[in-house]
Amino acid sequence: MSLPSGANEVVNPVQIAQQSSGAGGRSLNPSPSIFNEPPYNRSRTAPGEATPPSSLPTTPPGTTPSYPPSSTTGGKDLVSLTQSNSQFKKLTQALKAAGLTATLKGKGPFTLFAPTDAAFNELPQDALAELFKPENKEVLVKILTYHVVPGEVLSSNLKSGEVKTVEGSPINVKVDPKNGVMVDDAKVIQADIKASNGVIHVINKVILPPNL
């Protein structure tokens, strides 16, 4: 996949994790029970095997997307956008718990595949609470940085294939001109919410790195 200008910036996910946790070379805390619960205990979806998504209001090249009033950006950065949008309360909480707010307020640019509160609610709530504990901070950092791609990648630039994330592992993107965009097993339900330092694509599931 060809990234737009600015996408060549190298972001070191290990450095982010270490800066966030102060853990140095310490290994990750054992995965919380969230990773043993369906549907998050299955193997990574192979390319071409993703469930066909329902209709998605993708933005054709050269057109301007239309969004509800809650999605207007007003020149806000990625973190400010999530904080001001009621569907991202748990994502905002997760970014704060992981110590990533300063990173995503930075110059970037970044592309954030943002799970909604409904996506977080699909996770086992006891396991989610466990994930937010300080001792699981490094795991939370890995999950959240897996939702971030270096560079500003608009829907018109998305192509089917693997895209490397800030976490380091690739996500599998599947673009269907008729049905829309899948990111691993998550569906993009709203695209191209522009921020001052990147862009947000809203997804309906929390996606997990293949090594968790």
State how far the Cα of 115 lies from the Cα of 12, in Å rounded to an integer. 22
Q: What is the pLDDT of residue 21?
A: 43
Band (pLDDT 50/70/90 cuts) for residue 113 is very high
68 vs 131, residue with greater confidence = 131
User: Please, what is the Cα angle at 161 between 155 and 167, to 5 degrees?
Assistant: 85
CATH assignment of 13-23+70-203, among 2.40.110.10, 3.40.50.300, 2.30.180.10, 3.40.50.150:
2.30.180.10
**Which tokens sit at 82?**
């999530």
Record the pTM.
Answer: 0.70
Which of 20-24, 113-117, 126-130, 153-157 is predicted most confidently?
A: 113-117
In three-state secondary structure terms, 101 is helix
Amino acid at 110: F
DSSP string, 33-98: GGGGSTTTTSPPPPTT-SPPP-------TT------GGG--TT--HHHHHHH-GGGHHHHHHHHHH
In Å, how far are 18, 41, 91, 126, 175 from 37, measured between CA atoms?
28, 6, 20, 11, 28
What Rg do the C-alpha atoms of the chain give, in angstroms? 16
Residue range 120-133: mean pLDDT, rounded: 90
Name residues whose C-beta falls within 8 Å of residue 68's C-beta, 6 or more positions apart in sequence.
none
For 32-69, write each residue's pLDDT tens digit: 545 554 444 444 444 444 333 333 333 333 333 333 33
State how far the Cα of 80 lies from the Cα of 123, in Å rounded to an integer. 25
